[in-house]
Amino acid sequence: MTHITDLPDEVLFQIYNYLEVSTLKALQLIPDFSETVKYYLYRNSLYLLRICDDQINSLTNKEKPLGYELSLLDTTTNNNNSNNNNESMKKHISHFRHYQVNLSLIKFDNLLNKLDCYKDTIIQDIFNRDISNGNGNGNSNGNSNGNSQGQVSIKLLIQLNYSLSTFNQVKDCLVNMDKVSKYFSNNGKNSITIDLELNSHDK
């Protein structure tokens, strides 16, 4: 009799398609399924990240986007223990293939300055990789997928918080959205979609 653990990984992945995330996380605690579940979640889950310009901190939490704040991964501003934790977290995040990055801003130049600070460190480590060469994304049998299966997809959601006095920022966003996408494109290897959301506030 064939046991479920003897099934090929791709068959297990088809079964996992019908399970809730909470069930998969519970299944991951069982050693026989740990590696395949982990790989499945990395390959299929959407990871939310956020980048806020410094002026967003003056707004209420309701106006801040969802997602893990990228500035928390900045090793240049933390102690050694924090740096070790940051590297582990960064490695964990880099295993995913599907991302949504929420970019919340009041002034477009502030966002570009922050992206410039991150492009050779955090952005490089998370998004600029070749999955076809492995990077921990092979399946439990040690195989890896080609570019067609392994391409990183990133949805960029620019959330502009504007007032009457800063309405000119809307034009700046519309004209320069391509500049933002280039930070995440990995020289055209990543699949990028970009949306603009306008939020009016009274500041």
Q: What local confidence, expressed as pLDDT, does residue 30 receive?
A: 94
- Residue 96 pLDDT > 70: yes
> Are residue 67 and residue 116 in the same domain, yes or no?
yes
Contacts of residues 3-8 at CB distance under 8 Å and 24 or more positions apart, as own/partner, are 5/32, 5/33
At 129, is the secondary structure helix, strand, or coil?
coil
Kindly state the average pLDDT of the residues 117-137: 76
Q: What local confidence, expressed as pLDDT, does residue 84 receive?
A: 74
Question: What is the pTM (predicted TM-score) of this model?
Answer: 0.81
Q: Which amino acid is at 106?
A: I
Q: How far apart are the first and last CA of the chain?
A: 68
- Residue 168 pLDDT > 70: yes
Q: What is the mean pLDDT of the chain?
A: 84
> Are residue 77 and residue 159 in the same domain, yes or no?
yes
Cα–Cα dist 10/40, whole Å: 10
How many domains does the chain divide into? 2
Per-residue pLDDT band at 74 (split at 50, 70, 90): confident
Number of Cβ within a 10 Å radius of residue 36: 24
Among the residue ranges 27-31, 98-102, 140-144, the one predicted with the least confidence is 140-144
> Are residue 92 and residue 168 in the same domain, yes or no?
yes
Cα–Cα dist 53/86, whole Å: 20
> Are residue 91 and residue 65 in the same domain, yes or no?
yes
- Residue 138 pLDDT > 60: no
Per-residue pLDDT band at 136 (split at 50, 70, 90): very low
> Are residue 194 and residue 118 in the same domain, yes or no?
yes
> Are residue 175 and residue 140 in the same domain, yes or no?
yes
At 151, is the secondary structure helix, strand, or coil?
coil
Picking from 90, 73, 91, the residue whose alpha carbon sits closest to that of residue 82 is: 73
Q: What local confidence, expressed as pLDDT, does residue 202 receive?
A: 64
Among the residue ranges 64-68, 101-105, 138-142, the one predicted with the least confidence is 138-142
> Are residue 125 and residue 103 in the same domain, yes or no?
yes
- Residue 111 pLDDT > 50: yes
For residue 137, report the phi and psi dihedrals to the nearest 5 degrees: -110, 15
> Are residue 189 and residue 93 in the same domain, yes or no?
yes
Range of the domain at 183: 46-200
> Are residue 16 and residue 70 in the same domain, yes or no?
no
Q: What local confidence, expressed as pLDDT, does residue 65 receive?
A: 78
> Are residue 95 and residue 15 in the same domain, yes or no?
no
> Are residue 64 and residue 99 in the same domain, yes or no?
yes
> Are residue 94 and residue 143 in the same domain, yes or no?
yes
Q: Using only C-alpha atoms, what is the Rg of the chain?
A: 19
Residue 131 · residue 146 · CB < 8 Å:
no
